[in-house]
């Protein structure tokens, strides 16, 4: 298998990251295992219905807004006939109500897949350092906190920090005076 980012050939098919650029190869191996197709994205390739209940309700809302809120006042401002203004308002109101009722009675809800996607790797066996299969976590282990703490006064940090103080105040100055005398 090759890395799609830097074209580095990988040592093993089970490699999780590219050894050269660090690109995650988990999805690449899953795509190769499923023949160039991710099963998690199967819903994206299904044909979607246009005539759903939600789309019908949205269309009826736009119908109402266009006829009652936009066209009827526009015709009234431009001194249109009163019959046209009334018919536009009536057509917008009654038409949108009919579409709302038809959406609830005729159109069906859009199916929503509420299941969580199954993100399993094709290779379920987990190998430990020794190469044997490990199906569960190791048994619990407990160690006291004192085993992690070094004994007192066993190690001292080197005096190389930014705020390191000299041993005495006169130690650094006497060296400078001796250099000036020479």
**Is 37 inside any structural domain?**
yes
Residues 1 and 18 in one domain: yes
Nearest to 71 by CA among 97, 89, 98, 94: 89
Residues 30 and 67 in one domain: no
Higher per-residue pLDDT: 135 or 116: 135
Residues 40 and 60 in one domain: no
pTM given for the model:
0.40
In this structure, what token pair is assigned to residue 85? 């203004």
Domains: count for the chain = 2
Residues 57 and 33 in one domain: no
**Is 98 inside any structural domain?**
yes
- What is the pLDDT averaged over residues 110-134? 57
Domain closes at, from 105, 131, 148: 105
Residues 63 and 98 in one domain: yes
**Is 29 inside any structural domain?**
yes
In this structure, what token pair is assigned to residue 18? 């590219």
Whether residue 180 has pLDDT greater than 70: no
**Is 92 inside any structural domain?**
yes
- Residue 154 confidence (pLDDT): 73
Print the domain residue range for 10. Answer: 1-44
**Is 140 inside any structural domain?**
no
Buried b (16+ CB within 10 A) or exposed e, 115-129: eeeeeeeeeeeeeee
**Is 167 inside any structural domain?**
no
**Is 5 inside any structural domain?**
yes
């Amino acid at each position: 298998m090759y890395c799609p980012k830097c074209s580095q050939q990988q040592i093993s098919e089970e490699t999780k990251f590219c050894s050269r650029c660090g690109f995650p190869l988990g999805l690449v191996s899953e795509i190769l295992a499923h023949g160039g197709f991710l099963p998690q994205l199967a819903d994206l390739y299904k044909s979607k219905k246009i005539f759903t209940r939600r789309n019908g309700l949205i269309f009826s809302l736009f119908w109402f807004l266009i006829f009652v809120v936009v066209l009827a006042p526009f015709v009234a401002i431009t001194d249109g006939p009163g019959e046209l203004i009334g018919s536009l308002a009536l057509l917008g109101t009654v038409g949108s109500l009919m579409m709302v009722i038809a959406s609830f009675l005729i159109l069906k809800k859009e199916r929503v897949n509420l299941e969580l996607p199954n993100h399993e790797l094709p290779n379920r066996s987990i190998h430990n350092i020794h190469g044997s299969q490990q199906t569960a976590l190791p048994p619990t282990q407990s160690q006291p906190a004192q085993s992690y703490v070094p004994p007192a006064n066993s190690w001292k940090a080197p005096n190389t920090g930014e705020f390191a103080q000299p041993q005495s105040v006169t130690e650094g100055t006497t060296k400078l005076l001796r250099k000036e005398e020479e």
